[in-house]
């Protein structure tokens, strides 16, 4: 019997409600939210339970939602992939702006290491128990978390480009 | 072996030739020698580096212009080819490489990123390497075709050929380096 | 504070001191990169060495971090293609097509069979170009420059095909939402046929030169071995994973762009060492040629070169200047007046190095709300120091080149 989105949803709801919620399917991929405290155990279940078997971590990334409620400002998105039944799944954990902190999943997937560091580097999301949580792409001295929406794309200190000639005087595209 | 009649020799400098001797200016001879045996240091960081790979491979063959030997040590190179985006994290390293090179040294900024930052007008990218080191020739393109890179090298050869032997000890040159804070 | 958060030099100095006091052995620190010629891109590796043996290492990346993901949040969908070119610049058309397919998936656009086959042809040509570079550079790193000079001439032939199709050589910026910007010329088709006719002999010769070459084998067999379990846990994909014996290929696992229509094998290795990676890439070149031949054979005569979606497909310039309707659509697309759903989509293609994924979040505006690139290089390069631990320095160099780490893709 192959694994379907319905089975995953039922199993997870049975096992973890109310820590998992908001199941929805977008472009054939099941996605759901998980409370940040339960993230590690849910992903551990998805990886280790023989009926789930999500053996491969495809991707970890962060998202910033400044317009959302205070306790849903940041989101960490995990894409998992079950190679046996060829099913992908998207797990989201929303974090508050005051304390964007979530358990690291490096003990489960070694490949999460740099991806979590990248997420920290871009958004300042803290991964608890991460072996080496420091900046990866940007310089260690950098103070801002550049992918947060409040930081501009361009370097504000540059002198060689006049923003007016690039159509960047106001809030544009 | 290729047909030797295809090989074009460099013309001798202007001078006075007589029986068994040839008189000309020292700077012209030095310029001629320097220009036709440039040792490039390919400082390839991204896409333009792949085009440089094509430039030095068989089809375009940079060796035809006297740059057969890639010098991967900055100590023994006289033409620094900066190819690709230079991020701010990379800028001090580029500068260090430049400082390590022995005089005389020339710099070509290959591609839009090295010249101006290109399409990457972002917080992490240096907006042109001329912010940290002096540049002699800019090659536009994203990435430039191998022909363009070769054209940039020929352009530099022209500069080198006509450079005065005293330029490197002149006050203007010292001022230029001082303006970049390079000792 | 954990030692791992220190700069690597500091951490290693502690270790040197401890070893000196304990065993009387003097370890040393070696700084490899970021401008070392053998690193093929700019990564820094600070290695703790015992003579020639690597005890520990730490990699630093980010030396060409260009903030693609931030740029993507500020540019309309059709302009982001320019960024994808510069991810893995050895095989730009795969990235381009992957991005267009992501947008098409998000918008729900159906692509005609003919366009899909054309895309398959161009993607497989790009894969060949990518593998040519990696395999021949592996030769260079083991001391065989000849192979590089020889096969690079044929990479130029692929670039000529790109040029014929889109005008650019390396960063192709090929295609539009819905298809290609123009019909491929007669010359392009002819050049593809010519390449397919000429290249097998060249590639056979190249393979003959290296794959049973004693020196090459001694250098690569057993060097930088990764077993399947480690590869999966570190998120390896692409040829590097397949060299470890796992037959995961997105072209088969989740076919896109009509890959299900073609017969081809997925070459796998056994030991996951440098030699296997080399062999897997070489075998993939043959499979790619097989796919291109089938695509040419099955190519439908009808179907045009783009989908019929005037709302999203930028009309050709001549029409914009001469036709009112085209001008209106052009204006609407460029000014962002076209409907975009509020959704999330993940789409992955089999890039030259593995699973290249695009995770796109839209909020109905003309720019993505968030675009994350899943770059295969970034994810598997983190295993590098783990792989080379306990091996000699020369093994580390060949491991790095056999993994085909592309700085542009890694740093994004």
Query: If pLDDT is split at 50, 70 and 90, which confidence band does B69 have?
Result: confident
Q: How far apart are CA C94 and CA C99, in angstroms?
A: 9
Chain A partners of B122 at a C-beta cutoff of 8 Å?
Answer: 153-155
Contact criterion met (CB below 8 Å) for C288 and C259: no
User: What is the separation of C-alpha C59 from the centre of its chain, rounded to a whole number of angstroms?
Assistant: 21
What's the mean pLDDT when you consider all of chain A? 89
Within 8 A by CB and 6+ apart from B11, the residues are none
Chain C partners of A139 at a C-beta cutoff of 8 Å?
Answer: 62
Helix (H, G, I), strand (E, B) or coil at A26: strand
Tell me, yes or no, if B131 comes closer than 8 A to chain C by beta carbon. Answer: no
Backbone angles phi, psi at B168, to 5 degrees: -70, -20
The least confident of A35-49, A64-78, C33-47 is C33-47
Instruction: For the beta carbon of residue C46, count every other beta carbon within 10 angstroms.
Output: 20
**Cβ B122–A166 below 8 Å, yes or no?**
no
The per-residue pLDDT for C208 is 92
Backbone angles phi, psi at C119, to 5 degrees: -65, -40
Q: How far apart are CA C119 and CA A82, in angstroms?
A: 28
Tell me, yes or no, if B75 comes closer than 8 A to chain C by beta carbon. Answer: no
The per-residue pLDDT for C303 is 86
Element (H, E) at C28: strand C28-32
The per-residue pLDDT for A173 is 41
Q: How far apart are CA A64 and CA B135, in angstroms?
A: 40
* Residue B48, annotated as binding a ligand: yes
The per-residue pLDDT for A1 is 54
Q: How far apart are CA C101 and CA C103, in angstroms?
A: 5
* Residue B55, annotated as binding a ligand: no
Quick one: which of C88, C203, C95 has its CA closest to C154? C203
Does the structure show a pLDDT above 70 at B3?
no
Q: Which domains are present in chain A?
A: 14-150 (3.30.460.80)
Contacting B residues, span 99-118, partner chain A, CB-CB under 8 Å:
116
- Retrieve residue C374's tokens: 């899943």
Strands C344-350 and C355-361: antiparallel
Point out the residue among B88, B124, B127 whose CB comes nearest to the CB of A161.
B127
**Cβ C67–B123 below 8 Å, yes or no?**
yes
* Residue B47, annotated as binding a ligand: yes
Query: If pLDDT is split at 50, 70 and 90, which confidence band does A172 have?
Result: very low
Interface test with A, best of B89, B121, B132, B135 (most A CBs within 10 A): B121
For helices C274-298 and C393-403, give the axis angle rounded to 10 degrees.
Answer: 10
- Retrieve residue C179's tokens: 């298809």
**From start to end of chain B, where are the E strands?**
16-18, 21-23, 40-44, 79-83, 106-110, 137-139
The per-residue pLDDT for A169 is 60
Could you please report the per-residue DSSP string of C174-199? --BTTB-SSPPPHHHHHHHHHHHHHH
Point out the residue among B70, B90, B145 whose CB comes nearest to the CB of C169.
B145
Q: How far apart are CA C344 and CA C95, in angstroms?
A: 19
Q: How far apart are CA A66 and CA A130, in angstroms?
A: 26
Q: How far apart are CA C140 and CA C206, in angstroms?
A: 13
The per-residue pLDDT for A170 is 53
Chain C partners of B64 at a C-beta cutoff of 8 Å?
Answer: none
DSSP state of A97: S
Q: How far apart are CA C48 and CA C389, in angstroms?
A: 10
Strands B137-139 and C344-350: unpaired
pTM of the model: 0.92
Give per-10-residue mean pLDDT for chain C (412 aa): 79 89 89 76 87 90 90 90 90 93 93 94 94 92 89 93 92 90 93 95 93 91 91 92 92 92 93 93 95 94 89 90 93 88 93 92 91 93 91 90 88 82
Q: How far apart are CA C18 and CA A152, in angstroms?
A: 46
**Cβ C64–B86 below 8 Å, yes or no?**
yes
Strands B106-110 and B79-83: parallel
The least confident of A24-38, A153-167, C221-235 is A153-167
Mean pLDDT of B106-130: 91
- Retrieve residue C315's tokens: 């009309």
Instruction: For the beta carbon of residue C4, count every other beta carbon within 10 angstroms.
Output: 13
Mean pLDDT of B145-172: 92
For the domain spanning B39-179, the CATH number is 3.40.50.12280
Q: How far apart are CA B95 and CA C184, in angstroms?
A: 45
The per-residue pLDDT for C155 is 92
Q: How far apart are CA A47 and CA C213, in angstroms?
A: 43
Residue matched to tokens 């796998």 = C268
Interface test with B, best of A153, A160, A167 (most B CBs within 10 A): A160
Does the structure show a pLDDT above 70 at A96?
yes
Q: How far apart are CA B92 and CA B98, in angstroms?
A: 10
For helices C113-141 and C393-403, give the axis angle rounded to 10 degrees.
Answer: 170
Contact criterion met (CB below 8 Å) for C292 and C311: no
Chain A partners of C378 at a C-beta cutoff of 8 Å?
Answer: 114-115, 118
Q: How far apart are CA C250 and CA C98, in angstroms?
A: 12
Tell me, yes or no, if C29 comes closer than 8 A to chain A by beta carbon. Answer: no
- Retrieve residue C339's tokens: 């409907």
Q: Which domains are present in chain C?
A: 3-60 (no CATH), 110-336 (1.10.645.10)
Taking one residue from A and the other from B, the number of pairs with CB-CB distance under 8 angstroms is 28
Does the structure show a pLDDT above 50 at B44?
yes
What are the structural domain ranges in chain B? 39-179
The per-residue pLDDT for C290 is 94
Residue matched to tokens 């069979």 = C113
Chain C partners of B51 at a C-beta cutoff of 8 Å?
Answer: 169-170
Mean pLDDT of B91-107: 91
Q: How far apart are CA C43 and CA C31, in angstroms?
A: 11
Strands B21-23 and B40-44: unpaired
For helices C113-141 and C145-166, give the axis angle rounded to 10 degrees.
Answer: 160
With CA atoms as reference, the chain C residue closest to B83 would be: C41
Chain C partners of B123 at a C-beta cutoff of 8 Å?
Answer: 67, 70
For residues B69 and A30, the model is more confident at A30
For helices B146-161 and B47-56, give the axis angle rounded to 10 degrees.
Answer: 80
């Amino acid at each position: 019997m192959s694994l379907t989105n319905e089975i995953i949803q039922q199993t997870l709801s049975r096992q973890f409600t109310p820590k998992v919620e908001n199941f929805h399917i977008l472009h054939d991929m099941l996605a759901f939210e998980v409370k940040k405290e339960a993230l590690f155990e849910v992903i551990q279940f998805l990886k280790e339970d023989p009926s789930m078997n999500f053996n491969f971590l495809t991707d970890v990334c962060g998202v910033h939602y400044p317009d959302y409620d205070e306790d849903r400002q940041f989101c960490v998105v995990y894409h998992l992939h079950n190679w046996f039944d060829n099913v992908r799944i998207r797990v989201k954990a929303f974090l508050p702006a005051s304390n964007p902190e979530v358990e690291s999943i490096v003990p489960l997937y070694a490949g999460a290491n740099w991806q979590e560091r990248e997420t920290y580097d871009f958004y300042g999301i803290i991964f608890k128990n991460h072996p080496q949580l420091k900046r990866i792409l940007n310089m260690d001295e950098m103070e801002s978390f550049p992918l947060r929406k409040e930081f501009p794309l361009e370097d504000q200190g540059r002198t060689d480009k006049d923003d007016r000639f690039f159509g960047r005087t106001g809030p544009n595209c | 072996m290729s047909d030797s009649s295809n090989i074009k020799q460099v013309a001798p400098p202007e001078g006075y030739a007589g029986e068994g001797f040839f008189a000309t200016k020292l700077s012209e001879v030095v310029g001629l020698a320097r220009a036709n045996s440039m040792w490039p240091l390919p400082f390839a960081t991204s896409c333009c580096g792949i085009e440089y790979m094509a430039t030095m491979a068989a089809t375009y063959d940079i060796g035809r212009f006297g740059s057969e030997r890639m010098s991967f040590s900055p100590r023994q190179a006289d033409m620094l080819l900066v190819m690709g985006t230079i991020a701010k994290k990379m800028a001090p390293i580029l500068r260090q490489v430049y400082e390590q090179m022995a005089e005389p040294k020339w710099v070509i900024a290959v591609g839009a990123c090295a010249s101006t930052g290109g399409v990457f007008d972002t917080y992490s990218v240096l907006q042109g390497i001329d912010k940290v080191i002096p540049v002699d020739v800019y090659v536009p393109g994203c990435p430039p075709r191998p022909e363009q890179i070769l054209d940039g090298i020929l352009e530099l050869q022209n500069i080198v050929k006509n450079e005065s032997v005293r330029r490197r000890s002149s006050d203007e040159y010292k001022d230029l380096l001082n303006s970049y804070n390079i000792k | 504070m954990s030692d791992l958060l220190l700069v690597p030099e500091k951490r290693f100095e502690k270790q040197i001191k401890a070893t000196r006091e304990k065993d009387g052995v003097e370890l040393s620190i070696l700084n490899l990169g970021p401008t070392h010629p053998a690193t093929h891109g700019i990564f820094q590796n600070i290695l703790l060495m015992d003579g020639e043996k690597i005890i520990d290492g730490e990699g630093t990346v980010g030396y060409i971090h260009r903030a693609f993901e931030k740029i993507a949040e500020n540019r309309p969908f059709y302009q982001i293609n320019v960024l994808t070119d510069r991810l893995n610049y050895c095989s730009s058309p795969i990235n381009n097509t992957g991005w267009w397919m992501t947008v098409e998936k998000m918008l729900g656009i159906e692509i005609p069979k003919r366009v899909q086959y054309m895309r398959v042809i161009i993607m497989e040509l790009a894969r060949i170009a990518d593998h040519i570079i990696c395999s021949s550079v592996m030769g260079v790193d083991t001391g065989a420059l000849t192979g590089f000079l020889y096969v690079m001439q044929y990479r130029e032939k692929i670039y000529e095909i790109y040029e014929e199709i889109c005008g650019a050589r390396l960063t192709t910026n090929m295609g539009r939402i819905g298809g290609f910007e123009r019909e491929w010329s007669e010359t392009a088709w002819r050049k593809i046929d010519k390449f397919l006719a000429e290249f097998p002999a060249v590639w056979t010769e190249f393979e003959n030169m290296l794959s049973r070459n004693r020196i090459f084998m001694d250098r690569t067999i057993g060097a930088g071995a990764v077993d399947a379990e480690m590869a999966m846990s570190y998120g390896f994909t692409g040829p590097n994973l397949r060299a470890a014996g796992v037959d995961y290929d997105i072209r088969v696992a989740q076919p896109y762009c009509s890959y299900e229509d073609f017969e081809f094998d997925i070459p796998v290795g056994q030991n996951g060492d440098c030699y296997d990676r080399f062999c897997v890439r070489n075998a993939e070149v043959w499979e790619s040629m097989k796919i291109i031949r089938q695509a040419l054979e099955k190519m439908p005569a009808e179907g045009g070169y783009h989908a019929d979606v005037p709302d999203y497909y930028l009309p050709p310039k001549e029409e914009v200047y001469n036709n009112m309707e085209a001008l209106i659509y052009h204006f609407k697309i460029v000014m962002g007046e076209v409907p975009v759903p509020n959704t999330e989509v993940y789409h992955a293609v089999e890039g030259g190095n593995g699973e290249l994924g695009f995770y796109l979040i839209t909020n109905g505006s003309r720019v993505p709300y968030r675009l994350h690139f899943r770059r295969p290089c970034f994810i598997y390069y983190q295993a590098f120091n783990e792989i080379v631990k306990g091996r000699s320095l020369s093994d580390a160099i060949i491991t790095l080149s056999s993994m085909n780490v592309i700085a542009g893709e890694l740093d994004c």
